[in-house]
A and B are shown apart, each in its own frame.
Chain A
Amino acid sequence: MAGFLARRLLNYAVLVVVAASLAYLVAATALDPRSNYADRTPKPPPAVVDAQLTVLNLNDKTPLLQRYAVWAGGVLRGDFGKTVAGAPVNDDIKRRMGVTFRLVILGLVCGSLLGVLVGALAAVRQYGWFDRLSTGLSFLVLAVPVVVLANMLILAGAWANQHVFGRQVLLVSGEYSAGVEGLGSQVVDRLQHLVLPTISLSVGLIAVFSRYQRNMMLDVLGADFVRTARAKGLSRRRALTRHALRTAMIPVVTYFAFTFGALLTGATFTEKIFGWHGLGEQLINSIFSNDVNTVAAISLLAAVSVLCAALAADLLHAALDPRVRA
């Protein structure tokens, strides 16, 4: 067991190293931090630019491998280098991780719980009105890209503020408003900011989780052990909740872990459109600002979170399923 885990972790470490290095090399080759200085007025002299870039380890006149070595050395010491603006990447990333976490966790929990509920209900009454409705809606939702959904939500929020509430209830930009005093009002303010992004995250998740749970549940509903439970004299409802749902939940829970890992850097569109300064937003900003070090740091983080999620999914699976645990 321990040996197996060690081998697996080693494999993960290699994957992370290769992925992050690849991301760094691609970013360092394709992005051009020098161009950031081109539109400055007054235009700084080339020597100054070179010096500045060298300090940031971004100078394209330094050989790529040398830059890579400097970067990799830093990463090994836990230092991801500096942003194009000269601030440490570490601080920026740390702050943004918090933001992303606060944004994602509520959406993920809402989305997966509701999704599982909807899926299970739909499966139990297969072809009933609820099944048809939920299937239809999830198809519709899955066809709407997040960029469209988020923009639609913003439009809808603006309309609702104007016509339903008569004041700014649903706030569409940022995590909180500046200058709000008092704990109570701060919480309310944060919640107001959270509503729309959470909806935009969870709607898609509900659709995905409900489809998944429905399929798992349908597989289990016809299983022999559910029939055995019924033959014991359990009512349909008890047989379904105690025996079918419990078994059908296993793959869904592992899927949950996986989604969480993917969302840490995957909430890009929601963050960007709703103006949350999280990792996803930074991903896009850093490309626009030719910020090689940030790009590499986020790539590394994404790789780590995906692999951690995969590991967590397997551990959860083992915890829930005695067949796997054995």
Chain B
Amino acid sequence: MTLSEEELAEELADGTLTRPPSRARMVAGRFFRSTQGLIGFAVLALMFLLAFVGPLFSPWTYTDKDFTAFMQPPSARHWFGTLQTGSDVFAVTLRGMQKSLVVGLLAALVSTALAAVVGAFAGYFLGWTDRVLSWVTDLLLVLPAFLILAILSPLFGSGQWPLFVVMLALFLWMVTSKIVRGMAISVKEREFVQAARYMGVPPVRIIFRHVIPNLSSLLIVDATLNVSSAILTETSLSYFGFGIQPPDVSFGTLIADGSLTAVYAPWTFWFVAGLLVVTVLAVNLVGDALRDAFDPSSGKA
């Protein structure tokens, strides 16, 4: 039943080196073949570029105040115009965008990771583990997230935005976790998990090696869509002054200020609102295209 040494050496020499296209590459291929995905990705990349490279080209920083120009419409000097305080709208907007993008991305990552772990453990072990984890999930669903975040907002001031990210994530993961739990239950019934179990692979290893990787398409898509909901939640909270605290700015604080002056100074509102909508739209397009790329049989071909 053993092959001779020579045969083995031969096989080692060829064959294995030519790997067939991996799944990741296949998904990437499908993703970039869809116009929707391409547009979303390109726009998103552009937004990132704008947020992080754009400020280098602006003569103004977000803290600068031009005391010769209050509430001025866009001009060569101030590309997006100025605010009542004399701040340059372009510089301030990009700064807000940086914050919103970073907060959105991190919150989405944290919440998806949390959802994956909690959901997978609850679904795989069932019984008491499930009861406890599901109860906590339900409790957080029932607690009005907005309220808690708003009450705790004073804590987020003075550079404490990472805490804000964590809190934001803490109220974003529950629905995903419930979906993950349901899918983990069905993945657990799948024969390859049973096979691993009967082989003697320890449960925690099965969860991280078989269960979660097999939910990766859901998780990746969900993480993407969570980016947009995190950005939107951040915006809403900051709009009412419960999120990012001054002197820091974000989309939300800018929109709150801008909406007050929008009627007679449209540039203070529309640039920010437009960029926010375009960013979220791009994220959603990427998420949707990813979903299709992972599962060609779902909804759209």
Assess the A306–B276 pair: CB atoms within 8 A: no
Least CB distance from B258 to A in Å reads 8
Cβ 8 A contact of B142, one of A19, A143, A145, A284: A19
Does B299 sit within 8 A of A, measured CB to CB? yes
Cβ 8 A contact of B263, one of A15, A22, A158, A302: A158
Least CB distance from A12 to B in Å reads 9
Does B9 sit within 8 A of A, measured CB to CB? no
Cβ 8 A contact of A19, one of B143, B154, B300: B143
Residues 158-170 of B, flagged 1 when their CB comes within 8 A of A and 0 if not, give 0000000000000
Does A218 sit within 8 A of B, measured CB to CB? yes
Assess the A148–B277 pair: CB atoms within 8 A: yes
List of A residues within 8 angstroms of B280 by Cβ: 142-145
Interface residues of B in 227-263 (CB under 8 A from A): 228, 232, 235-236, 239-240, 242, 252, 255-256, 259, 262-263
Assess the A284–B148 pair: CB atoms within 8 A: no
Chain A residue at smallest Cβ distance from B273: A148
Report how far A30 CA is from B300 CA in the complex, Å.
48
Assess the A299–B299 pair: CB atoms within 8 A: no
Least CB distance from A190 to B in Å reads 25
Least CB distance from B33 to A in Å reads 16
Least CB distance from A224 to B in Å reads 16
Assess the B151–A287 pair: CB atoms within 8 A: yes
List of A residues within 8 angstroms of B252 by Cβ: 147
Assess the A284–B150 pair: CB atoms within 8 A: yes
Assess the B262–A23 pair: CB atoms within 8 A: no
Report how far A214 CA is from B288 CA in the complex, Å.
14
Residues 126-147 of A, flagged 1 when their CB comes within 8 A of B and 0 if not, give 1000000000000110111111
Least CB distance from B243 to A in Å reads 12
Chain A residue at smallest Cβ distance from B259: A151
Does B46 sit within 8 A of A, measured CB to CB? no
List of B residues within 8 angstroms of A22 by Cβ: 139, 143
Cβ 8 A contact of B148, one of A26, A152, A214, A215: A26
Cβ 8 A contact of B228, one of A143, A151, A283, A302: A143
Assess the B239–A147 pair: CB atoms within 8 A: yes
Does B208 sit within 8 A of A, measured CB to CB? no
User: How many B residues touch the partner, as a band?
Assistant: 35 or more
Assess the A27–B151 pair: CB atoms within 8 A: yes
List of A residues within 8 angstroms of B124 by Cβ: none
Report how far A265 CA is from B232 CA in the complex, Å.
18
List of B residues within 8 angstroms of A302 by Cβ: 142, 144, 147
Secondary structure of the A side of the interface?
Answer: helix
Assess the A147–B235 pair: CB atoms within 8 A: yes
Report how far A130 CA is from B263 CA in the complex, Å.
34
Assess the A23–B236 pair: CB atoms within 8 A: no
Chain A residue at smallest Cβ distance from B282: A143
Given the known inter-chain contacts A26-B152, A307-B142, please indicate yes or no for A143 contacting B284, CB distance below 8 A: yes
Report how far A99 CA is from B256 CA in the complex, Å.
25
Least CB distance from A7 to B in Å reads 12
Given the known inter-chain contacts A30-B151, A139-B281, A284-B240, please indicate yes or no for A155 contacting B142, CB distance below 8 A: no
List of B residues within 8 angstroms of A30 by Cβ: 151-152, 154
Assess the B146–A147 pair: CB atoms within 8 A: no
Interface residues of B in 106-145 (CB under 8 A from A): 135, 138-139, 141-144
Least CB distance from B245 to A in Å reads 15
Since A27-B147, A27-B151, A147-B235 are in contact, a sample of 19 more A-B pairs with Cβ atoms closer than 8 Å, ordered by chain A residue number, is A15-B139, A15-B142, A22-B139, A30-B151, A139-B284, A139-B288, A142-B280, A142-B284, A144-B280, A147-B252, A148-B277, A151-B262, A155-B262, A214-B299, A283-B150, A284-B240, A299-B147, A306-B142, A307-B142
A-B contact pairs, 29 of them (CB 8 A): A15-B138, A15-B139, A16-B142, A22-B139, A26-B151, A27-B147, A139-B288, A140-B281, A143-B277, A143-B284, A144-B277, A145-B235, A145-B276, A147-B235, A147-B239, A147-B252, A147-B259, A148-B235, A148-B276, A148-B277, A151-B255, A151-B259, A269-B236, A283-B147, A287-B151, A298-B144, A298-B147, A302-B144, A303-B144
Closest 8 CB pairs of A and B: A143-B281, A143-B280, A151-B259, A302-B144, A303-B142, A147-B239, A19-B142, A30-B151
